[in-house]
Structure 1
C-alpha cells in the first residue's frame, strides 16, 4: 500500500502534540496535587522557625520586692523592681505567686518571663491615672501616644508571659467600657465617648495628615481605651497558659513583632472590641490550643487602618492558627478590617467553632478606604457547630463609623477551605460581596459540608467558586 508521506508527517506531528499536551496536563495535575498536599508543610516550617525561648534559671518572686497579695495594695512598684532586677541579672523568671495582686501597668523587659503560679490573679487598677504617662501604642490600627496597655513591652527581645493564673483587667460597665459609646456597656447619654470629635475623629485626621506619632497625644482627658497586652516591635514573644478576662479593649495585640507564640491561653472577655488575639504588622505567629470566648472577633489579623497602614506598610504574614476553640465572637478567624498594609499566608487547621453567638467562622472585611489585600488563606479540618450569619464571609464593602468609600481598591484572592463540617450554617453557607472593579478571585471549597443554612450561597462580584465534593443543605456543588 502506498503511503502519502506529507499526510503521514502531518499525522505524526498531530499525534506528538496530543501526546505532549496529555502529558503536560498530567504533569500540571500532579503539580497541583503536590501544591495542595504540601501547603500545610509551609505552616509547619513557620512553626519550626519560632524558637523555643530560653531563660536563665533565676527566679525573682514579687513578694521579695514588697508585693502584697491582699487585692488592695498597689503593687506596681514591687513588680517593676522585680522585672528590673531580673533584666539586670541577665534574665530569668519573675514569679507572681498565688493570691490577688493589684497593680497598674506592667512593662516587660528583655529576657524576662513573667510567670503566674496557680491561684495567682493580677487585678489591674481602675484608676486611669495609673496608666500614665502615655506611651507609644495604637488604637484601631492607628499609632498614637495613649494610656499604657495593661501589659506592655516596647522594642524588647525574648519575653514571655506564662503560667496558669489570671490577668483581670477589671474593665466593666463602670470602668473603661462606657467610653465605647454603647448603652449596653454602661455609657450614659451626653457623657464623653470615643466617637466625640476630640477622640477618634481627631486621631483619624492626624493619621491622614501624617502627624508624627509623638505629637498624637491622647491619654488623660480623652476616651480611648488601653490594650490589654501589647508587645510592640518585639522579637521572640511567648504568651502561654494564662487567662485574660475583663479587658478594656483588644486583648492580645502583638504589633510589628516577629516570632510570636500564643498557646494554651484562655480569653474570656465580653466587653466592647474585646478581640481575642490581633496580630498586626506581624509575621511568623503561631496561635495554638487556645480558647476564645469574646465580645468581638476571636482572632483578627490586621495591618493598619487607612493612611497609617499604608505609611507603615508592613503586611501581616505567616500566621498559623491551630487546635483552637472559638465560642462567642463576631468571627472565628478574621482578616481586617484594619488591613491597609495587607495580609498573606494564613493557615488555619484543626479548630472547633461553635456558639449561637458566633457570627461567622472565616471572615474577610475591608473597603476602599482600607484597601489592602488578603491572599493565600488556607483553612482545613474545621468543625463548626453553629454560626449566626455565614461559614465564609468576604465583604469588600465593610462599613463602620459611617461611609467607607475611598480610592484604594482592595484585592482578595486565593482563599481555600477544605475538610469542613458545619451543623448549623446560619443565614448563608457562603456570603461574598466583591466589587465590580475588583472581583474576589480563586475561592475553593473542597470536601466542605454545610447543613441547615437558610440560603446556600450569596455571591456578588466574584470569580466562580470552585467546588470539589462539597454540599450545602444536602445539595452537591
Structure 2
C-alpha cells in the first residue's frame, strides 16, 4: 500500500540532471554579503528558469538575504555547501497568501520564505542552509502571547500572531527536498499540504528550544497535512514543538475540506529536542491512515511515539505502525492522551460553528507498536482514552522500557501486549476500563 512513497522522481524530470541549464543568482544581480536584500534578483532567476522549461537555480557560496520566494514547476533550487539563504525581517517582505491552511484552518496568512504552489517536479537541495531568521519573530510572539493568554485559549494564540513558515509545498506533486540544513523558522519549518509523492531526505532541521536566550515558537520540523505518498528518510530534527506532525485539518473547516493524509513512510530519522518525535494530530478531521515509522532514534525528546487526540478535531485515524525504535532519556516513550470528552456537540473554537459530537470526536484504531528499546525514560507508556472515545485495536510487542514510572492504559478496547517489559521501581502496569485485553509478558516463541 505504500510502495509509491519511495519511487524515484527522475521519471518526472524534464531533462537529466547533467543536461539542465544553470541559473546562477549572482548573474541576476544577487549579492551574498548578508546585507543586500536579494528578493527581486533571486526571483528573476527562478522565473527565467521556469520560462526556459526548467533547470537549476544556483545559490553559490555566501549569505543571501531575501524575502519570500516562489518556485514554479520543473525548477530546482540548489544551495552550494557554503551558501546560506537567509530570510529578512518584516511581514511586508512576505506577501499575504489568500485562503491558505494554517494549523488546520483556511485563512489569509503571510507567505512562507520558500513557496511552491500548484506545481510539480520541484526540487530544493544541496549542502547549504536555509535560515528563517526566526529571532525576528520569536520574541514578538512570546511578548504577544503573554498578553493574549489572559483572554485567548492557548490553542488559538498562533492564529493571532502571523509569521512565515520556512518552506511551503501547497498542491505540489512529484517533488523533493534533500540534503539541506533548515533552521530558525519563524513558524512551521516544512509544511507539506494537499500534496502527493513528496520525498524529504537527509535534512538537518534545527529550531532552538533555548539558545543564547532565543526560544523558538511553534516551529514543528515537518508537517504532513492532507497529503499522500510521502517519504521521509534520514532526517535529524531538534525543535521546540513536534519534530514530525501528521495532520489533516481541524474542526468544521477540516471536515468541510475532508482530505486525508495517507501512505506516509518515515524511516532512519533521529529526533532530539521536541514535544514529540512522530506526532499524530492534533488536526485530524480529514482522517489519517497508513503511516509506517521504522528504524528511528530519539534522545531527549518529550514523547517520541505520540498520539494527540483532541475533542473537536474529528476524523478516523487508523493503520499506524511503529517498528524498531531506540530511545534514551526521553519523557514518555509512548504517549496517547485524549482531553475530556463529555458527549456534547462541539463549538468550533475559531469559526464558532457547531459540529455534532460524532463528527467532532476523533477515532483512533488499528495501532501497532513493536521492537522498541528505551532507557532512562520518565514514563513508559501513557495510553489514556475517555469513556465516550475509546482507542481500539492496539497491539504492542517486543518492547523493553526502563522508566521512573510504569505503563498505564485506560479506556482501550482490544489491547494486546506481547513481550512488553517495563523496568520501574513502582508498578509496571496499570489497566483501567480496558476491554478484551491479552497480556503475554514472556518472550514470544
TM-score tier, shorter chain, comes to 0.7 to 0.9
* Structure 2 counterpart SS, 1:339: coil
Instruction: Kindly provide the CA deviation profile for residues 370-426 of structure 1, in whole angstroms up to 9, marking residues without a partner as x.
Output: 1212110111111111211x2111122179989x99722221111111111111231
Aligned runs of 1:56-95 on 2, under 5 Å? Answer: 56=15, 57-95=20-58
What is the aligned partner in structure 1 of residue 112 from structure 2? 149
Structure 1 residue 196 displacement after superposition: 6.0
What is the aligned partner in structure 1 of residue 434 from structure 2? none
Cα distance in 2 for partners of 1:396, 1:189 equals: 26
What is the aligned partner in structure 1 of residue 299 from structure 2? 354
Cα distance in 1 for partners of 2:150, 2:44 equals: 34
Q: Structure 1 residue aligned with 2:373, among 412, 421, 425?
A: 421
Cα distance in 1 for partners of 2:267, 2:320 equals: 13
Unaligned segments of structure 2, at least 5 residues: 209-215, 342-347, 429-440
> Is 1:302 equivalent to 2:209 in the alignment?
no
Cα distance in 1 for partners of 2:146, 2:184 equals: 23
Cα distance in 1 for partners of 2:182, 2:263 equals: 25
What is the aligned partner in structure 2 of residue 267 from structure 1? 205
- 1:288–1:322 contact (8 Å) kept in structure 2: yes
> Is 1:386 equivalent to 2:335 in the alignment?
no
Give the stretch that moved more between structures: 103-112 or 45-54.
Answer: 45-54
Instruction: Kindly provide the CA deviation profile for residues 186-222 of structure 1, in whole angstroms up to 9, marking residues without a partner as x.
Output: 55855x799769x95897xxxxxxxxxxxxxxxxxx6
Cα distance in 2 for partners of 1:227, 1:117 equals: 22
- 1:252–1:276 contact (8 Å) kept in structure 2: yes
What is the aligned partner in structure 2 of residue 250 from structure 1? 188
- Residues 201 and 334 of structure 1, relative CA distance in 2, 3 Å threshold: closer
What is the aligned partner in structure 1 of residue 438 from structure 2? none
Cα distance in 2 for partners of 1:450, 1:465 equals: 18
- 1:105–1:130 contact (8 Å) kept in structure 2: yes
Q: Structure 2 residue aligned with 1:443, among 394, 397, 400?
A: 394
Q: What is the total number of aligned residue pairs between the two structures?
A: 404
- Residues 401 and 450 of structure 1, relative CA distance in 2, 3 Å threshold: farther
Cα distance in 1 for partners of 2:140, 2:224 equals: 24
- 1:396–1:410 contact (8 Å) kept in structure 2: no
Cα distance in 1 for partners of 2:297, 2:145 equals: 37
- 1:50–1:260 contact (8 Å) kept in structure 2: no
Q: Structure 1 residue aligned with 2:73, among 110, 126, 148?
A: 110
What is the aligned partner in structure 2 of residue 287 from structure 1? 232
- 1:194–1:223 contact (8 Å) kept in structure 2: no
- 2:119–2:172 contact (8 Å) kept in structure 1: yes
Q: TM-score, normalised by structure 1?
A: 0.79
- 1:55–1:112 contact (8 Å) kept in structure 2: no
- Residues 293 and 405 of structure 1, relative CA distance in 2, 3 Å threshold: farther
What is the aligned partner in structure 1 of residue 60 from structure 2? 97
> Is 1:231 equivalent to 2:177 in the alignment?
no
Unaligned segments of structure 1, at least 5 residues: 1-41, 204-221
Cα distance in 2 for partners of 1:439, 1:77 equals: 54
- 2:340–2:386 contact (8 Å) kept in structure 1: no
